């Protein structure tokens, strides 16, 4: 979502807050739960804009609704396909490696992204395993599959000079088929 005219960081924060309120009112009117994640950036020519992904409990919020409630400029919409590759592409786009893309004006936002309060947080678990018992290809639990692109084996060196070997990987829950 872009702006028709140049806006300051404080103005952008206010306009985005108004959009989020209008989105929640629309969702309530349509009797759906709306969840979102939004990232604010400064693009070329120091223009502030927002990227947002919106999920509703029933897909009845239309593209025209979003255009109607964003009253400050242009809205470009792409539909999310739902595949693992789509999720990776979206995450990479939202949290760019390029530090210049991140919204860096001071004291506007304390983190790179903001979300609705009803967003379900992913369940994380960490286990300490001796590095000699690691499997190059970790085992998966029943009902999950291993994201092979997420496997990282590396070393972490503390300031004290102590070095620890680690392995990181992501298990993704397989949704059971819906019963009829």
Looking at the structure, tell me whether residues 86 and 166 fall in a common domain: no
Which regions of the chain are under pLDDT 70?
A: 97-108, 131, 176-180
Looking at the structure, tell me whether residues 65 and 147 fall in a common domain: no
End-to-end CA distance of the chain: 39
Residue 27, strand partner residues: none
The number of domains in the chain is 2
pLDDT digits (tens, 9 = 90+) for 94-114: 777 555 555 555 556 777 778
Per-residue model confidence (pLDDT) at position 81: 81
Looking at the structure, tell me whether residues 107 and 61 fall in a common domain: yes
Total-model pTM: 0.66
Per-residue model confidence (pLDDT) at position 70: 94
Looking at the structure, tell me whether residues 29 and 91 fall in a common domain: yes
Looking at the structure, tell me whether residues 99 and 54 fall in a common domain: yes
Looking at the structure, tell me whether residues 164 and 101 fall in a common domain: no
- Could you tell me if residue 123 is inside a domain? no
Per-residue model confidence (pLDDT) at position 104: 56
Q: How many C-beta atoms surround the C-beta of residue 63 within 10 A?
A: 10
- Which residue segment(s) compose the domain that 142 sits in? 131-173
* Beta strands 144-157 and 114-115, pairing class: unpaired
The Cβ-side half-sphere exposure at 74, using a 13 Å CA radius, reads 8
Looking at the structure, tell me whether residues 67 and 156 fall in a common domain: no
């Amino acid at each position: 979502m872009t702006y028709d005219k140049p806006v300051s960081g404080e103005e952008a924060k206010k306009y985005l807050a108004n959009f989020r309120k209008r989105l929640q009112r629309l969702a309530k009117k349509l009797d759906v739960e709306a969840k979102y994640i939004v990232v604010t950036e400064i693009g070329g020519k120091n223009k502030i804009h927002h990227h947002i992904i919106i999920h509703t409990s029933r897909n009845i919020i239309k593209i025209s609704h979003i255009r109607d409630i964003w009253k400050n400029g242009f809205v470009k919409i792409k539909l999310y396909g739902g595949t693992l590759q789509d999720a990776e592409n979206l995450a990479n786009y939202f949290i760019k490696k390029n530090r210049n893309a991140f919204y860096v004006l001071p004291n506007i936002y304390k983190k790179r992204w903001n979300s609705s309060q009803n967003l379900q947080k992913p369940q994380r678990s960490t286990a300490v395993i001796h590095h000699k018992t690691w499997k190059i290809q970790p085992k998966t639990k029943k009902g999950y599959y291993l994201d092979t692109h997420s496997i990282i084996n590396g070393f972490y060196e503390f300031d004290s000079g102590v070095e620890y070997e680690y392995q990181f990987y992501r298990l993704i829950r397989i949704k059971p088929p819906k019963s009829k």
